[in-house]
A and B are shown apart, each in its own frame.
Chain A
Amino acid sequence: NAGVTQTPKFRILKIGQSMTLQCAQDMNHNYMYWYRQDPGMGLKLIYYSVGAGITDKGEVPNGYNVSRSTTEDFPLRLELAAPSQTSVYFCATRGSNTGELFFGEGSRLTVL
């Protein structure tokens, strides 16, 4: 089992470009999350989903969008990239009967 797979691992964007970070899981977990990690700031929740077709905003949703058409996939869309979105993005999943989050290995995004 691959667990949580994120693509791409690295990406450089120009200001104003758009892109989608992909997240796929084979754990059959209902809950999925997108976090961003910045030095000295910990991890901040961007969006989350409690199941296919259901998404909600986290702490820092501005500039991002998500969709959840299947249990397995939870893509994160960046529209009009800005330097402030330079960060490492982590996707995570959680099963229904546990508090444990399972993270992917991250996607490092640089906006120049």
Chain B
Amino acid sequence: QQQVKQSPQSLIVQKGGISIINCAYENTAFDYFPWYQQFPGKGPALLIAIRPDVSEKKEGRFTISFNKSAKQFSLHIMDSQPGDSATYFCAASIGSGNTGKLIFGQGTTLQVKP
């Protein structure tokens, strides 16, 4: 019940295309859903996050779509650029104001071809 399942494992997109990464969870107590971006040799960094009281959040070219009833959320990268090539992790936690223990998905390696 503590798992977060992420797909696909890898993704290749042409420059200018849309990249879509999906995550599913079981624990309905999760109430914070961030996405992290990781470049080779670096630690993950927060990209965008959403709480279940909204169905969508957009920041620039990055959008999270959240479906509470299906227990799924996804990351959409519009107009994908070669600089977006990285590994993306979805995550979930119960109450960021508590210990904020994040449960991470398995990761998606995105390659954007020029």
List the A residue with the shortest CB-CB distance to B45: A103
List the A residue with the shortest CB-CB distance to B9: A40
B99 at the interface (CB under 8 A from A): yes
A74 at the interface (CB under 8 A from B): no
Q: Which of B34, B46, B100, B107 has the most CB of A within 10 A?
A: B100
Query: Are A43 and B101 in contact (CB-based, < 8 A)?
Result: no
Q: Mark B33-55, 1 if CB is under 8 A from A, else 0.
A: 01010000111111001000000
User: What count of chain A residues pass the 8 Å CB interface test?
Assistant: 28
Query: Are A99 and B99 in contact (CB-based, < 8 A)?
Result: no
B74 at the interface (CB under 8 A from A): no
Q: How far is the CA of A99 from the CA of B107 in the complex (A)?
A: 19
A94 at the interface (CB under 8 A from B): yes
Query: Are A31 and B100 in contact (CB-based, < 8 A)?
Result: yes
Residues of chain A lying within 8 A (CB to CB) of residue B102: 43, 45, 101
Q: Mark A35-77, 1 if CB is under 8 A from B, else 0.
A: 1000011111100101000001011000000000000000000
A43-B104, A98-B96 known; A105 vs B42 contact (CB < 8 Å): yes
Q: How far is the CA of A41 from the CA of B97 in the complex (A)?
A: 26
Query: Are B106 and A106 in contact (CB-based, < 8 A)?
Result: no
Query: Are A99 and B43 in contact (CB-based, < 8 A)?
Result: no
Residues of chain A lying within 8 A (CB to CB) of residue B106: 40-42
Query: Are A45 and B43 in contact (CB-based, < 8 A)?
Result: no
A92 at the interface (CB under 8 A from B): yes
Query: Are A99 and B6 in contact (CB-based, < 8 A)?
Result: no
Q: How far is the CA of A58 from the CA of B102 in the complex (A)?
A: 10
Kindly identify, within residues 84 to 112 of chain A, every residue whose CB is under 8 Å from any CB belonging to chain B: 90, 92, 94, 96-101, 103-106
**What are 11 A-B interface contacts by the 8 Å CB criterion?**
A40-B106, A42-B106, A43-B104, A45-B103, A48-B101, A50-B99, A56-B99, A98-B96, A100-B34, A101-B36, A101-B46
Residues of B bordering A, CB below 8 Å: 2, 4, 6, 9, 32, 34, 36, 41-46, 49, 89, 93, 96-97, 99-107
